[in-house]
Structure 1
Amino acid sequence: MSLLTRLLERNLRNSGAGARRLYSNHAEEESSATKHEFADEEPVQPPRHQKMATDQDWSAVWPGPRTFQPSVVPLPLRQGYTEKGAPPPSKFANAELMKIPNFLHLTPPAIRQQCEALKKFCTPWPKGLETLENCEKRFPIEIKSTDYCHALPTIRNPEARRVTLNIKLSDLKFDAHAKDKFLRLVGDRYNPNTGILTIVADRCPLRKQNYDYAMYLLTACYHESFVTESWESSKSEADMEYYSFERNKSKQSAEAIINWGQPVEEAKKLNADHGFAQSVEQLINEGENVYNLGKYKEEVLKLLNISK
């Protein structure tokens, strides 16, 4: 009996020590795991826009084109449609702000820095082009094109290839025959009220190709206007496309009237003035109207030296 009692006590002692050891190991594991978890966890940092200084270098934060990032922009931007009475969506998790191109990199300080960096590659402004009049005199051809920026999968716009060429007709040197032929070749591209020729090219897929094509049209029409065909020398006055005072009998008749009774000497022969010649040409080429008839009357009275 005593032997059995001693064995039971020994087993109880062993089982109690084991239980204590098991509980002690489990507690130690929990405490070590908790310490390790808190040691690995980093503190949450506030958004960058909350730590930005007011005098920071924005070009270093946003140096070039990029997708909108709300944690970097220190502005309360809002965009998007909302129901009536609801607040507008903020800049965080805003797909409307992220899917469109932005110009946050084109700030005045950033542009100023880029201009300063490009100065070493620039040459001095040419002398003699200080005014707009001097520029137009030396570069009479004006080229116009348009760039487009829109929210589409591609930035290429079909209208961006269009090129418009403008030039004053007075900047081109013509004789009477060449000017008349040139105006007939260009047709309604010439505006007689402003004296400007406009050529629009948009047939080619690229802007450079349309520019070359517009310059080719101007060059071809200009040189073609000086070409005189063989049949043009056989034209009579009745075949002419317009009335010219200088090559008509009306000039001889007008000069015969104003030189009536004068000695026949070429040095003292009077010629019809330019105003009378212009009024006669307008009356015949443009037709009879109130203005042309009134202008012709005034020039006739002036030619005959008759007071009203």
Structure 2
Amino acid sequence: MALIALINGRRAIYFSARGFGNRFQSTERELDSRTQIDDDQFPVLNFKQVKSQRIARRKIVRAVVPPPRTEQMATDQDWGAVWPGPRSFNPSVVPLPLRQGYVSKKHQIPPGKFANAELMKIPNFLHLTPPVIKKQCEALKQFCTPWPKGLETEESMKKHFPVDFISSDYCHASPTIRNPLSRIVTIQLKLETLKLDKHARDKFLRLVGDRYNSDTDVLTLVTDRCPLKKQNYDYAMYLLTALFHESNVVESWEESKSEADMEYYDFQRNCSKVNSETILNWRKTDGEQRLSAPAGYGHSVEQLFNDGENEYNLAKYKEQTLSLLHLTN
């Protein structure tokens, strides 16, 4: 006769026969060993805190912080070796009692240099001390050439180099270092340096339009259509060259222009010149040397017609007319 039972979730068979007593004991020992193995592989989850389960805290080892460098620096320290170039502010290196920041209370002093974010925001020029600047200039002298003779003054430089080249360079954080505004090129020069005659000057001014400032006599050309700065510079110089040569060209139809076709009053081509010279030579015979109209009188007449009547032009015209007729004291 056999008896079947469940022990720890396992099925065990018990025999009641006398001859099976030893087998029953061996089966019981085998079940106990299996239960012990299962307990070792699957430990019991205990939600209750036990003192023996607490893990000992690790001790924090704090490093020994050395004193600031300013306390170890000598008074005759070479500052160029300490601060050789532009860098962020470092309070442990600068031996100055700097303060920066805003405080809400009236009688409070601004925060010191240690742990001060305001001093780190602004750019500093602590590396540009007079001894360091002198030392750097001495080092750069070997790469410099002597200053050219004859360019000691500003007037002499303007005489030999009349064209001013203006451009801009930008430094910013972006995927590309090329800024679109850096391609713009500006060229300036005084119109008197081109040595244009009256016809060429008039034609030149008509071609450039509002790029010429009559008050300062400065011509300004701005080029930005090319992608590179060098290309815009070459294009600006090409424009200046083309304007100069085109203004000196005299077309065939320009010679046939009459007084009625002129866009401005020209004293040399007007009857006023003939009338003034007739007054000056009305007593002279054919054999005597005839006088021409004074340049000051012609200029005053041109200003009166071209610029309009104002107090200055009328006074100038009156003065030159009296001088022409010899009526001044």
Structure 1 length normalisation: TM-score?
0.74
Choose from 59, 72, 83 the match for 2:104: 83
Question: After superposition, where does 1:192-231 map in structure 2 within 5 Å?
Answer: 192-201=214-223, 211-231=233-253
Distance 1:158 1:54, change over 3 A: farther
Distance 1:42 1:285, change over 3 A: closer
Aligned-partner SS, 2:102:
coil
Between the two proteins, the alignment pairs up a number of residues equal to 266
Aligned-partner SS, 2:187:
strand
Q: Is 1:182 matched up with 2:204?
A: yes
Q: Is 1:135 matched up with 2:157?
A: yes
The structural deviation recorded for 1:153 is: 5.1
Distance 1:204 1:72, change over 3 A: farther
In structure 2, what residue type is equivalent to 1:256? T
Q: Is 1:121 matched up with 2:134?
A: no
Aligned-pair Cα RMSD in Å: 3.1
More moved, 78-87 vs 287-296: 78-87
State the structure with more CA Rg: 2
Q: Which residue in 1 is equivalent to 2:130?
A: 108
Structure 2 length normalisation: TM-score?
0.70
Q: Is 1:166 matched up with 2:188?
A: yes
Distance 1:209 1:135, change over 3 A: same
Distance 1:93 1:214, change over 3 A: farther
Aligned counterparts of 2:225 and 2:184: Cα–Cα separation in 1: 8
How far does the alpha carbon of each residue in 1:196-234 deviate from its partner, in whole angstroms, 9 at most, with x for none? Answer: 223445666765555445434433322332233443333
In structure 1, what residue type is equivalent to 2:208? V
Structure richer in helix, relative to its length: 1
Which ranges in structure 1 are unaligned for 5 or more consecutive residues?
A: 1-39
Aligned-partner SS, 1:246:
helix
Distance 1:186 1:73, change over 3 A: same
The structural deviation recorded for 1:258 is: 0.8
Which ranges in structure 2 are unaligned for 5 or more consecutive residues?
A: 1-60
In structure 2, what residue type is equivalent to 1:305? H
Question: After superposition, where does 1:255-266 map in structure 2 within 5 Å?
Answer: 255-265=277-287
Choose from 114, 124, 134 the match for 1:92: 114
The structural deviation recorded for 1:158 is: 7.6
Distance 1:168 1:271, change over 3 A: same
In structure 2, what residue type is equivalent to 1:45? P
Aligned counterparts of 2:126 and 2:226: Cα–Cα separation in 1: 34
Aligned-partner SS, 1:268:
coil
**Identity %, equivalent residues:** 66
Choose from 65, 78, 94 the match for 2:86: 65
In structure 2, what residue type is equivalent to 1:192? S
How far does the alpha carbon of each residue in 1:110-157 deviate from its partner, in whole angstroms, 9 at most, with x for none? Answer: 2211111111111111111122221121111234456789xx857998
Choose from 305, 312, 319 the match for 1:284: 305
Distance 1:100 1:160, change over 3 A: farther
